[in-house]
Amino acid sequence: MKIYLNGKLVDYKKAHISVFDHGLLYGDGVFEGIRTYDALVFRLKEHIDRLYKSADAIELKIPMTKMKMIEVVLRTLKANRLKNSYIRLVVTRGIGDLGLDPRKCSKPTVFVITHKIDLYPKEFYQKGLQIVTATTKRNFPQALDPRIKSLNYLSNILAKIDAIKSGTEEAIMLTYDDYVAECTGDNIFIVKDCGLVTPPVNIGALEGITRDAVIILSRKMEIPFCERLLKMDDVYNADEVFLTGTAAEIIPVVKIDERRIGSGKPGALTLRLMTEFKSLTKTDGVRYAV
């Protein structure tokens, strides 16, 4: 497996990062997770735009243009001859000293990993997922905006530990005032009275690429949609619940905190959206040759 690292494709065993890199020392950096389907990089432009937006938010200057970054991603995919894969694109502040000062980091580190990922077993897409509410709260947006896809994921990891301890795969994260924000790695949608609802991003949710794709699909399918504040009672009493994410795609949820959602089976609207999303992954992106 070849890894792109600072301008070169190197064997994964030789893809080393300095212990003085501020991405490692302080989580000072940004990343994107991207999917490919049958040699098509799904919504690549949107992912690259978000990467640069996140970098701008932390005043990190990426040392190449967006077009060049797209070329780097495609080059890495071709080198590994992958048609269906998961891409992890990371930009850190780079090598510095043991202090916080970003001015001590002379050049950002850029690396791209292309590999395979199966976030959830296939049976969960057929039967639905059971999840819990995490005790760990979402970051306060005015302290660290969760819309920045940074390397600071400790709160998400703590919430993931909550899920693991409960015997489930995912957990809902609430804001400091107990509104539903998102899950540890996915956005959340509910279906109520044949309409689609998701929390607004300004309360502490990531502007998910798959989230946006679902919103676009809902409009094309003429499904009523809105963003509004949700409490857990809204989620418990929903007709359907599903999660969205690059790795997860669209996955139905049938039980939360041991409470059955709707009929206890993946809902009709969720299943329709899953089918439409699969079709979208065949056309919405950048094609490449392997």
Return the active site residues. 149
Nearest-5° Cα angle at 69, 64 to 75: 130
How many other CB atoms are there within 10 angstroms of residue 78's CB atom? 16
Give the residue from 21, 187, 171, 1 showing the smallest Cα distance to 88: 1
β-bridge pairing 249-256 and 259-260: antiparallel
β-bridge pairing 180-183 and 187-192: unpaired
Q: For residues 170 and 180, what is the distance between their CA atoms, to the nearest angstrom?
A: 14
Greatest Cα-to-Cα distance within the chain, rounded to the nearest angstrom: 57
**How would you class 161 by CB atoms within 10 Å of its CB: exposed for 0-12, middle for 13-18, buried for 19 or more?**
middle
Helix, strand, coil share of the chain (percent; to 5): 30, 30, 40
Sequence-ordered list of residues with C-beta below 8 angstroms from that of 57, at least 6 positions apart, any chain = 145, 147, 148
Cα separation values, 257 from 97, 118, 134, 235, 253, Å = 45, 24, 10, 11, 11
